[in-house]
Chains A and B, each alone.
Chain A
Amino acid sequence: MTEIFGVPTQALFGQLLIGLINGSFYALLSLGLAVIFGLLNIINFTHGAQYMMGAFLAYILANKAGLGYWWSLALVPLLVGAFGIAIERSMLKPLYKLDHLYGLLLTFGLALVIQGLFRNEYGTSGLPYAMPAELAGGRNLGFMFLPNYRAWVIVASLAICLGTWFVIEKTKLGSYLRAATENPALVQAFGINVPRMITLTYGFGVALAALAGVMAAPIYQVSPQMGADLIIVVFAVVVIGGMGSIMGSILTGFGLGVIEGLTKVFYPEASNTVIFVIMAIVLMIKPAGLFGAQK
């Protein structure tokens, strides 16, 4: 059998695929973060908590209302998105004129509150969420056993990411959005309701986080902390990709998933840290991120 650095190529393929799967989550989450940052100039530290809310809401719908995975996939992003809109209207709005820092601090505080409330209500052991029957099982790819659900995660995430990219970069609505980022006053003067657009954008970004939460529920334990550590990793992804760059965050999300996956093989202890090493290097060489525009 051929080997690369002592690891059989077959096994390496498996690890690459796994990296891509984890990358799908990074991509989904960092996409939402990038969209929000691009238009609102706010670093949404609540993103991890909103991802966690997505998973919990799916759990609650399943256990209290008897609604399964597919229902959750449709409903949860709407519900959490609406929650995001309420936050934007009531708390984020007054902050747009101020330094980035305040948005970050406010959302950091909100994340603490939300996580604390869920912890009080549901404890910490984590709750099980059943895999949808349609996606149970898996197939043998020869070099590895691929659970159907993981395949679905990659496909769904890719579709959503590319769809979002298409809307923002290639449609009329997207061009308004991009224009409003550059010069909100001018766009407003053209008769476009910019504040509403901003609100909806935030809601959309949050809904993406919630969607990622629902998709994560069957794989990971649904627990109040599930988003807490993830958030700074996702941050790093956005920074590496270039703050506000849509394609940048998607590509970086998948790319870092793969790099992290490979680290898990060659130096597993560092797999949580490798992303930060990359972030430090990127910031030194290309401060605006790999795909960001230098301002």
Chain B
Amino acid sequence: MMPRSQRNALALMAAFFLAAPLVVYPVFLMKAMCFALFACAFNLLIGFGGLLSFGHAMFLGTAGYAAAYSAKSWGFAPELAILFGTACAALLGLVTGLIAIRRQGIYFAMTTLALAQMVYFYYLQAPFTGGEDGIQAVPRGMLFGFIDLKNAWAMYGTVFVIFMAGFLLVYRAIHSPFGQVLKAIRENEPRALSLGYDVTRYKLLAYLLSATLAGLAGATKALVFQLASLTDVHWTMSGEVVLMTLLGGLGTVFGPVVGAFIIITMENYLAQLGAWVTIAQGVIFVICVLTFRRGVIGELGNWLKKPL
């Protein structure tokens, strides 16, 4: 059962994303939801598994390319394209997970970075991705054969449903026995091991789930923007998701959503200020680390003395 504070927060969040498009530009909100889901997936790994991945962009990008390519070249329906993209990310998650999961701490981070750089290189060279032009003009298509996603509201509803489903799945995972074991491993791995938990398998599962959800975010994003490009696989994207999660609050349920929203808002509405956006992001990073390491939501929850 969800604590009341979280149930209220969930209702608030759902209400916000349902009402906001009336005043805020919907495409912007869709982007925010995609990144929020991406950050939630990332948070599952670091906030609850204690594993800092520095290569999460590879899942976002892989799913984006797979979804875009299957929709454009093979004529996949949108639901199939998203599924296919997500499946590709999951597969990549399995392969890279088996390699990376055997390392800890900074070595884990570096392994994921190395793997992500190789994946980046592959997409840069592979002809089907169109190099830096990306896969453009991806058709949004008809969802389940009868919902025309060219309609902004239909697209918005779809993204909203995907986002909420992904979010609840993360929530469910965190609060299941699986999530508890994960937390136990994060706090004290040798003890978890001595209690008879197959630590590696739990970690791999968390990694796999995180990769899959990051892929879901990437595939959805590709359909929203009708574009898959190298930006989403570049290592700076992996850094950005760390920033979002940190800003919102590592290991909180709602933190990543808030963090993603703040960062995307900055990028969107401060875009004309050019280099000042990077400077502002850097300053946020520094302030976060120095003064509120719990992040916006973490501090808020701490102040309210309620889990958020």
Contacts and interface: CB of A to CB of B under 8 A. Distances in A.
A–B proximity contact (CB within 8 A): yes
Interface of A: 43, 91, 94-95, 98, 100-102, 105-106, 108-117, 119-120, 232, 235-236, 239, 243, 269-270, 272-273, 276-277, 279-280, 283-284, 287-288
A109 B285 contact: yes
Contacts of B289: 95, 102, 105-106, 109
A102 B52 CA distance: 11
A279 B283 contact: no
Nearest to B121: A273
Nearest to A284: B99
The main secondary structure of chain A at its interface with chain B is helix
Contacts, number: 105
A105 B242 contact: yes
Nearest to B112: A280
Contacts of A108: 239, 282, 285
A116 B103 contact: no
Given A116-B279, A232-B235, A277 B118 contact: yes
Interface residues of B, number: 36
Contact of A269 (B117, B125, B235, B288): B125
A284 B95 CA distance: 14
B61 to A, nearest CB: 15
A109 B103 contact: no
Interface in B63-108: 99, 102-103, 105-107
**Across the A-B interface, the 8 shortest Cβ-Cβ residue pairs:** A109-B285, A112-B282, A113-B282, A116-B279, A276-B117, A280-B114, A273-B121, A116-B278
A279 B110 contact: yes
Given A105-B285, A112-B278, A113-B279, A277 B114 contact: yes
Interface in B260-302: 274-276, 278-279, 281-286, 288-290, 293
B213 to A, nearest CB: 22
Contacts of B52: 101
Contacts of A91: 286, 290
A135 to B, nearest CB: 34
Given A106-B290, A287-B102, 6 more contacts: A100-B106, A102-B289, A109-B289, A110-B282, A117-B279, A276-B118
A115 B106 CA distance: 25
B77 to A, nearest CB: 35
Given A112-B282, A276-B114, A277-B118, A283 B275 contact: no
A30 to B, nearest CB: 13
Given A109-B284, A269-B125, A279 B293 contact: no
Contacts of B115: 280
A106 B121 CA distance: 28
A108 B117 CA distance: 18
Interface of B: 52, 99, 102-103, 105-107, 110-111, 113-115, 117-118, 120-121, 125, 235, 239, 242, 246, 274-276, 278-279, 281-286, 288-290, 293
Contacts of B99: 280, 284
Nearest to B52: A101
Nearest to B291: A94
Contacts of B286: 91, 106, 109-110, 113
B275 A120 contact: yes
A7 to B, nearest CB: 22
A232 B276 contact: no
A232 B286 CA distance: 20
A250 B114 CA distance: 20
A232 B110 CA distance: 10
B185 to A, nearest CB: 16
8 contacts: A91-B290, A105-B242, A105-B289, A109-B281, A112-B278, A120-B279, A236-B113, A276-B114
Contact of A239 (B107, B246, B278): B107
A115 to B, nearest CB: 7
Contacts of A276: 113-114, 117-118
A41 to B, nearest CB: 10
Contacts of B125: 269
A95 B246 CA distance: 15
Contacts of B276: 116, 120
Contacts of B283: 109, 113
Contacts of A101: 52
Given A109-B284, A113-B286, A276-B117, A283 B111 contact: yes
Nearest to B246: A105
Given A102-B293, A280-B111, A272 B246 contact: no
